[in-house]
Amino acid sequence: MDLQDKRKPIPFISSFSFAVSGIMTALKTERNMRIHFISSVIVLVLSFYFSITKMEWLFILFVIGGMFALELINTAIERVVDLVTVEYHPLAKQAKDLAAGAVLVYAALAVAIGIVIFLPYALHMF
């Protein structure tokens, strides 16, 4: 019998509690997560203000959700690397840099999608 079989299953509602705890930890401890959160609030306000289409809403919601998910994964990778080694190691640096790079690529995509969606609405105002 392996270790997996000896553990009690986690109640379904507890798994949500753990997930929310992780999100709250990231919001409290990670500057970039707070920046993404504030940016998301601004984007949502603009989305309501401009009365964007349903299809545009889908893109906005996917971009926001994806950004949060990727930032949480990046933070988890950083924590695991820090847990495994306190000394500098080139592979540890690469792991952190690769995860940060993934966030940067997605953030650039998010900005591009934001420009495509909001620029016509902003130009229409003038």
The residue assigned the tokens 């553990």 is: 7
Nearest to 70 by CA among 19, 28, 36, 120: 36
71 flagged as catalytic: yes
Task: Sketch the domain layout of the chain as residue ranges.
Answer: 14-125
d(CA 97, CA 38): 24
pTM: 0.86
d(CA 94, CA 115): 31
pLDDT 10s digits, 9-45: 788 888 899 999 999 999 999 999 999 999 999 999 9
pLDDT 10s digits, 41-97: 999 999 999 999 999 999 999 999 999 999 999 999 999 999 998 899 999 999 999
CATH entry, 14-125, from 1.10.287.3610, 3.30.930.10, 3.20.20.105, 3.40.1350.10: 1.10.287.3610
Of the residues 30, 56, 71, 87, which is catalytic?
71
The residue assigned the tokens 């934001």 is: 114
Nearest to 71 by CA among 93, 100, 92: 100
